[in-house]
């Protein structure tokens, strides 16, 4: 299913053509470089998958992009805007949404209420006071619920959803904010096979209007979604390219896929 993806736009292409440009990014924890002079570039409407052994620095890369962790060195440009100087909420406001490994939904609220709460207008105090369940909100909630396979469960309490449905709800809570870039850390961990297939479907649908960075271990899932794959090892890019390219790269087989 992975689309042919043209990264090489020719000599006239500049950094401005990339949605996200990460360059020479480094973070040092007490002298240990979890991310070490890392550079990679993500295009619009691309699904980039980051793979690599445990401890490679994958989650830390997302922490750096979303401003949760401060970089020691390097640059992260999103639509040409430097993110390393911004606070977490400013980065969210710039259009970067992040989903963490464990779902953080409101268990005692319904699917509808969880999505409604994430709708941008409800977010600040003034917005919350003026907030009404008007037509715009309801239709947007329904639209997102349909995308995440929960349209028939809008009035269901989130607590009784399956693990996979909770993961979808959290993706929906990001989608409803219409970020340009979504970052997902191991979204299919703990999902059933059919849930994994539907999640691949969901991601392939949403890249029509978004770009996505996904960290994942399930190679079948990676194959179903990745336009390009970046293999991280010891905080650096070990290999990068199509799924076929990285799968056949002896370095990748040695440190990751061979295990």
Q: Of the ranges 6-14, 49-57, 88-96, 239-247, which one interacts with ligand ADP (CB under 6 A)?
A: 49-57
Of 55, 80, 122, 127, which lies in the binding site for ligand ADP, with binding defined by CB under 6 A?
Answer: 55
Q: What CA–CA distance (Å, rounded) separates 228 from 86?
A: 28
CA 67 to chain centre: 14
Q: How far is CA 89 from CA 67, 93, 98, 197, in A?
A: 8, 6, 11, 32
Which of these, 32, 186, 162, lies nearest to 101 by C-alpha position? 186
Q: State the binding string over 155-194 for Mg ion (x if CB under 5 A, else -).
A: ----------------------------------------
Closest approach, Cβ 98 to ligand ADP, in A, equals 13
- Is residue 208 within 8 Å of 27, Cβ to Cβ? no
64 CB neighbour count, 10 Å cutoff: 25
Of 19, 25, 51, 58, which lies in the binding site for ligand ADP, with binding defined by CB under 6 A?
Answer: 58
Tokens of 134: 């008007």
Applying CB under 5 A, does 59 fall inside the site for Mg ion?
A: yes
Tokens of 34: 């979890």
Closest approach, Cβ 210 to ligand ADP, in A, equals 22
Of 25, 40, 57, 252, which lies in the binding site for ligand ADP, with binding defined by CB under 6 A?
Answer: 57
CB of 67 or CB of 95, closer to Mg ion: 67
Applying CB under 6 A, does 34 fall inside the site for ligand ADP?
A: yes
Q: What CA–CA distance (Å, rounded) separates 94 from 83?
A: 9
Closest approach, Cβ 1 to Mg ion, in A, equals 25
Residues in touch with Mg ion (CB under 5 A) = 58-59
Residues in touch with ligand ADP (CB under 6 A) = 29, 34, 52, 54-60
């Amino acid at each position: 299913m992975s689309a042919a993806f043209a990264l090489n736009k020719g000599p006239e292409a500049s950094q401005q053509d990339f949605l996200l440009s990460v360059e020479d990014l480094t973070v040092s924890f007490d002298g240990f470089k979890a991310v070490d002079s890392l550079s990679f570039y993500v295009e619009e409407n691309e699904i980039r998958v980051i793979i690599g052994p445990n401890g490679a620095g994958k989650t830390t890369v997302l922490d750096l992009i979303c401003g949760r962790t401060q970089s020691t060195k390097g640059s992260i440009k999103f639509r040409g805007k430097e993110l390393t100087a911004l606070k977490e909420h400013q980065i969210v406001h710039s259009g970067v949404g992040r989903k963490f490994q464990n779902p953080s939904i409101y268990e005692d609220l319904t699917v509808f209420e969880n999505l409604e709460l994430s709708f941008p207008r409800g977010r600040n105090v003034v917005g919350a006071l003026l907030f009404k369940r008007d037509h715009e909100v309801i239709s947007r909630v329904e639209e997102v619920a349909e995308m995440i396979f929960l349209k028939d469960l809008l009035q269901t309490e989130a607590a009784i959803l399956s693990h996979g449905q909770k993961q979808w709800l959290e993706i929906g809570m990001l989608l409803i904010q219409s970020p340009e870039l979504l970052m997902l850390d191991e979204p299919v961990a703990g999902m059933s096979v059919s849930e994994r297939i539907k999640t691949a479907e969901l991601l392939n649908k949403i890249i029509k209007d978004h770009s996505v960075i996904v960290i994942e271990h399930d190679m079948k899932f990676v194959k179903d979604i990745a336009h390009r794959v970046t293999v991280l090892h010891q905080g650096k890019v070990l290999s990068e390219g199509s799924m076929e390219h990285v799968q056949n790269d002896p370095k990748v087989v040695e440190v990751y896929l061979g295990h």
